[in-house]
Structure 1
């Protein structure tokens, strides 16, 4: 059985949702970043951590990729052109969406107050909106990002768009709003969110 360490309000949500989609049993330990005992699994004190047979795996994208490959689901096969397109889309989301939101969070409440630059958030919102315009050109016309099947980048993008709403980063592209609505009503998403 898998063990997921991290609160559902963190990137651990991505892992919880994926395991729900895969219908895999797991134990959830809702530790916050830097909580006591967490550094024995991740010396950086970050979540999520997935423990598999006593071995911790860190970084949400690495965990999602591992689970997708291990279970042969929610991913295209390694070494295929579809997988290369999938990985490219994943990297775009991490670089353009996740990174902007993480930097805004750092300058909002993570860094010591004297190190925060409040004005940077305006630049990050502008970049976030620009990235949305690029994303709608990369996504399939309907269904999921890559077409008819849910894949790893869908989980990451949905998490980022949900995070954006919480962080008051507007979603300006109608197609992304519709996409987010479709993703968030999925039963597996709802089960993960209920944690």
Structure 2
């Protein structure tokens, strides 16, 4: 039933990450499109997401926000999709390691770079990501150790890490290293990734047409 999994999003947001994850999972879901500055800040939405941001999911009454957390949650509650290493499997280490590295240091470093903020050299030791160069080098290491982030099988970590890499290269906050391009090409051609992009691109086109 789609009603037991509700997805709040906007097609031009980080909700695109979760859309991809939902398409990989394959469980029916209901989509609620919110608008920036209006419904996304409504009292009804703020009641379960005080940040007033997307994405958010509600699954059987459980509210989950933050794209990385949603990806991890969905992988665990729908184990039949095979999007997370089993509990007790050693591959769960790199799976968590790189997913949350992307959610923490990568997100912070590339966001700061986009806004022209650079941590002074003498202060790098007190900020979580150190320097953009350190983060990018570590990210390159992550995508070159095996075919996928957690080994030889695609997982939810690839959805999240891959999205950060794809967006970073698209918007110019992440340099187009050969390793990043090869990894992104490998995962972005998955049928679920293509379906997700088509759904959100169609929503963007419909919104643009409606505003004309």
The count of aligned residue pairs is: 182
2:103 to 89, 94, 100: 94
Stretches of 4+ aligned residues off by more than 4 angstroms: none
Residue pair 1:101, 1:163 contacting (<8 A) in 2 also:
no
Partner Cα distance (2:35, 2:157) in 1: 24
Give yes or no for the alignment of 1:63 onto 2:70: yes
Pick the structure with greater CA Rg.
2
User: For residue 154 of structure 2, what is the aligned residue in structure 1?
Assistant: 150
Mark the runs of 5 or more structure 2 residues left unpaired by the alignment: 122-129, 201-212
User: Any idea what SS the aligned residue of 2:91 has?
Assistant: helix
Corresponding position of 2:84:
75
Return the offset for 1:74: 0.8
**CA deviation after TM superposition for structure 1 residue 20, in Å:** 0.6
| 1:44 maps onto 2:51 in alignment | yes
Per the normalisation by structure 2, the TM-score is 0.74
Alpha-carbon shift at residue 94 of structure 1 (Å): 1.9
Report SS of the residue matched to 1:21. helix
Q: Helix, strand or coil for the counterpart of 1:9?
A: coil
Q: Deviations over 1:111-148 (max 9, x none)?
A: xxxxxxx4539x9xx94443232223233555322222
The aligned counterpart of 2:18 is: 15
For residues 171 and 156 of structure 1, what CA distance do their matches in structure 2 show? 18
How far off is 1:69 after superposition?
A: 0.6
Q: For 2:59 and 2:26, how far apart are their aligned partners in 1?
A: 16
Match of residue 187 from structure 2: 183
8 Å Cα contact 2:71/2:156 also seen in 1:
yes
1:120: which partner in 2?
A: 118
Please give the root-mean-square deviation of Cα atoms over the aligned residues, in Å. 2.6
- Greater Cα shift, 62-71 or 23-32: 23-32
Structure 1, unaligned runs of 5 or more: 108-117
Q: CA deviation at 1:81?
A: 2.4
Residue 171 in 1 paired to residue 175 in 2?
yes
